[in-house]
Amino acid sequence: MTEKQPRIPGSPGSATPPVAEPTTPAGPLPPSPDQSGPATVSPTGQETGTPQDKMAQGGKFLTTAHGARLKDSDHSLRAGPRGPALLQDHHFREKISHFDHERIPERVVHARGAGAHGTFRGYGTASKLSQAGVFAKDKETEVFVRFSTVVGSRGSTDLARDTRGFATKFYTDEGTWDLVANNIPVFFIQDALKFPDVVHAVKPHPDREIPQAQSAHDTFWDFVSLHTEAQHHTIWFMADRGIPRSFRMMEGFGIHTFRLVAQDGSTVLVKFHWKPKLGVHSVTWEEAQIISGADPDFHRRDLADAIEAGAFPEWELGVQVFEDTEDQMFAGIDLLDPTKIVPEELVPVEPIGLMTLHHNPSNYFAETEQVAFNPNNLIPGIDVTNDPLLQGRLFSYLDTQITRLGGPNWNQLPINRPHAAVNDMLRDGMHQTAVHAGVAPYRPNSLDGGNPFETPDGDRPFIDHPAPVSASVKERALPASFDDHFSQARLFFQSLSEVEKEHTAQAYTFELGKCYEQAIRERQLKALAAIDPTLAQVVADGLGLPVPKPAESPADVVPSPALSQVGREWPLDGRQVGIVVGPEVDAGELSGAVTAVHQAGLVPLVVAPSGGEAATRLLGKDLVAQRTYLTARSIEFDAVLVASATPPAPDAANGLDSKVGATTPEGIDPRVSLLLDEVWRQAKAIGAYGAGEDVLRTAGYLEGAGVVTGAGGEEAVQQLLRLMPAHRVWERFPTTGRFAT
Ligand code: HDD
């Protein structure tokens, strides 16, 4: 009897190559020459225009979903021009029915986000700690990152006071690794079982579904004041970290302690940190509020524009490394408690690789919306610890995608598909796109030649590290080391500069001022008293309430300077400089200023009285007005240079309804005057040259802190560039003196 040949392609003895799994879907049809899009220029001045190979419609003629050519897509099939519609109209039903199902459920948290593709390059410095190939020296791995707010719905503002998500998918050769991080290094809760509680508390009230994308309401403060382990996380986003200037200027934190496993099986515990090359920066609360009305897509736009303009954002990935001891403690800090940090001054962050984001998604839905992160996605060399929050996350993410992405095959979506070979035995289910061959998706089998085989040790399988589990009783309890809820919140507050403390106190006063229930405000003031008595005092004064006495004196803490955003200088890539011009502008000088801004890697945006031909007459053919007095707003500029400005025009009131509040010194267009007032309050660098100096003098700002002048446009820009690396003119912020050290 002849031996039966294995029938699976790619199996031992088979002549046919293996079938790639899941099956790669067919690409779009080749474009036809008559479908080129119009040439366009992006807001950053880059040429855009959709290249032929990226156009949605690949073929010459419109077709149905099954490929039949269509003659008319504007009129439904009806019984005569005045008659009723016919059920027979397949094109109508297909088009409308598909449209009816275009939305998928938004994420229950982190619904609003922006994504980008990039590359991670290992430095090799972690190779001694972890066998993961992604960390090897100069190894390049493709990544997709999604930044997000947590609370708001998909259409909410980017500038809500909130935590930001920072989730990275590393498409490594050894499987996909997801580092699902936030821009704040601690979390509200210590046990995942409470996640629905904190989320229900911060989401809009269930009766009226308001407020949207805000924590400034009773249910949130009710929860965090009762549930004091949330106080540390809360103070981080009451501080300026809750209103970032840009996704490009945020840190990212893996929060939990993870375990790295080396080639020889040895282990260390680590905390992951993303450090942005551009530094950590925030907007002011006034800016956040203006942005939420004037440009709610501020962060999305900033990320996409920067990448399009070639100012590719970069982050170093770093680790704090701890010995993998039995108690998993470091200097009295429980490494399994996700409400605690280990100050960088105690354990420095060691850089292990660089991530560069270098291209924008082509399709928001297919990529940014459908991307599905999962802390379970681990690769050999990276493992989890028993952090009770992390343990619960290992269930939740896999589960949520089944509802959100409509079934168990979400890993087959192009953005989620691993770049490593997949050879699983998962079959069928909703939205199955793979055409699996073979007859034996089970183990052991003989019909498919025994395929797929288990991986022997030498071939780098993922091994759950055999960490010892202490003999214990089954119970619902946390260790006593998780009990301290205030000392690290105090450590954070004590590490801030005076201005940052003022901002934090103002944020608490605003948020609690929005609560209706007096008892909730009072309870939260007690928590503040346990964090810092002066903070409690200032907030209580702001609310007009008595200052509570702390139950016990706040612990002594050693501040961690790394937690403050003030006091250093940072690169300016992709920052925007508004250049205000009026009728007396000298085109040559202006051109010098624009070029100087460009050459420094920043984006100049010329603000002219109006656009169109009037702007061309003013600026000449070589320069364009990117903004007008009407469309410009302080929030989009990191600094403003005044070349000149028109006196009030007859239409100056046009647009002021949305810019109410302008104090208008005589001789300055009120819209320019408002711009200067806002930029001044936001403590941004201001510069002027030529007639622009008169404008600043008239507005009363010429002698102010952080206001510079130059003999010409280029020189004035150079002066501005000296101020901008500090991010703000910090001394310009008013302080009460109550947090002075
Ligand atoms: Fe979560 C999404 C980060 C705790 C359950 N989480 C989500 C996203 C980020 C984080 C960045 C958005 C991913 C994306 O862009 O698609 N989450 C965190 C961090 C946590 C954390 C840093 C604590 C250290 N999360 C956490 C817990 C649970 C969840 C404790 C549940 C027990 N998170 C989810 C979720 C989401 C999610 C409901 C919503 C959408 C999704 O997963 O894909 O499953």
The DSSP-derived string for 315-364 is EEEEEEEEE--SS-EETTEETT-TT----TTTSPPEEEEEEEEEE--S-H
pLDDT of residue 342: 98
For ligand 1, what atom is nearest to the CA of residue 396? 44
Give the number of C-alpha atoms closer than 13 A to the C-alpha of residue 87, restricted to the C-beta side: 0
Residues 6+ apart with CB under 8 A from 68: none
pLDDT of residue 17: 46
Contact (CB, 8 A) for 120 and 143 = yes
Contact (CB, 8 A) for 259 and 462 = no
- Distance from the first to the final alpha carbon of the chain: 92
Q: Using alpha carbons, list the distances in angstroms from residue 649 to 8, 629, 630.
A: 79, 11, 12
Q: Using alpha carbons, list the distances in angstroms from residue 45 to 71, 590, 604, 616.
A: 38, 17, 10, 16
523 CA to middle of ligand 1, Å? 28
Question: What values do phi and psi take at 587, rounded to 5?
Answer: -60, -35
For ligand 1, what atom is nearest to the CA of residue 109? 39
For ligand 1, what atom is nearest to the CA of residue 395? 32
pLDDT of residue 9: 37
From 253, 393, 416, give the residue whose CB has the most ligand 1 atoms within 8 Å, as the site to mutate. Answer: 393
Q: Using alpha carbons, list the distances in angstroms from residue 311 to 176, 259, 503.
A: 27, 34, 30
The DSSP-derived string for 287-305 is HHHHHHHH-TTHHHHHHHH
431 CA to middle of ligand 1, Å? 24
660 CA to middle of ligand 1, Å? 40
Mind telling me the catalytic residues? 110, 182
CB of 338 within 6 A of ligand 1: the answer is: yes
Contact (CB, 8 A) for 483 and 223 = no
pLDDT of residue 661: 44
Give the number of C-alpha atoms closer than 13 A to the C-alpha of residue 446, restricted to the C-beta side: 2
CB of 147 within 6 A of ligand 1: the answer is: no
Identify the burial level of 737 via C-beta atoms within 10 angstroms of its C-beta, where 0-12 means exposed, 13-18 middle and 19 or more buried.
Answer: exposed
Residue with tokens 């009770």: 388
| Closest-CA residue to 231 (of 634, 608, 508, 513) | 508
Mean pLDDT by 10 residues, the chain (741 residues): 38 43 43 44 53 64 90 95 95 94 96 98 98 98 98 98 98 98 98 98 96 98 98 98 98 98 97 98 98 97 93 97 96 97 98 98 96 98 97 96 96 96 94 93 94 92 90 90 96 98 98 98 97 97 93 87 96 95 87 94 93 86 91 96 74 52 68 96 96 93 96 96 98 96 82
Atom 9 (ligand 1) nearest CA = 165
Cα 548 to Cα 551: distance, rounded to the nearest angstrom: 9
Spacing of C-alpha 248 from chain mean position: 8
Cα 489 to Cα 495: distance, rounded to the nearest angstrom: 10
For ligand 1, what atom is nearest to the CA of residue 181? 22
Sign of CA dihedral 228, 229, 230, 233: positive
536 CA to middle of ligand 1, Å? 31
Contact (CB, 8 A) for 652 and 701 = no
Q: Can you read off the two tokens belonging to residue 261?
A: 């496993």
Atom 40 (ligand 1) nearest CA = 107
pLDDT of residue 89: 96
Atom 29 (ligand 1) nearest CA = 393
Contact (CB, 8 A) for 501 and 535 = yes
Residues 6+ apart with CB under 8 A from 247: 114, 147, 164, 166, 299, 302, 303, 313
DSSP state of 101: T
CB of 110 within 6 A of ligand 1: the answer is: yes
555 CA to middle of ligand 1, Å? 32
Four-point Cα dihedral 258, 259, 261, 266, nearest 10: 160
CB of 373 within 6 A of ligand 1: the answer is: yes
Contact (CB, 8 A) for 557 and 332 = no
| Closest-CA residue to 722 (of 615, 593, 569, 526) | 569
pLDDT of residue 19: 41
pLDDT of residue 33: 45
Cα 608 to Cα 639: distance, rounded to the nearest angstrom: 16
CB of 368 within 6 A of ligand 1: the answer is: no
Four-point Cα dihedral 641, 643, 644, 649, nearest 10: -60
CB of 91 within 6 A of ligand 1: the answer is: no
For ligand 1, what atom is nearest to the CA of residue 167? 11
150 CA to middle of ligand 1, Å? 9
pTM of structure: 0.92
For ligand 1, what atom is nearest to the CA of residue 193? 32
Contact (CB, 8 A) for 114 and 81 = no
From 104, 106, 108, 109, give the residue whose CB has the most ligand 1 atoms within 8 Å, as the site to mutate. Answer: 109
pLDDT of residue 644: 81
Radius of gyration (Cα) for the chain, nearest Å?
29
pLDDT of residue 34: 44
Left if phi > 0, otherwise alpha if psi is -120 to 50, otherwise beta: which for 397? alpha
> ipTM value of the model?
0.99
**Apex 68 CA angle, 67 and 73, nearest 5:** 105
CB of 391 within 6 A of ligand 1: the answer is: no
* Amino acid present at 190: Q
CB of 192 within 6 A of ligand 1: the answer is: yes
pLDDT of residue 654: 54
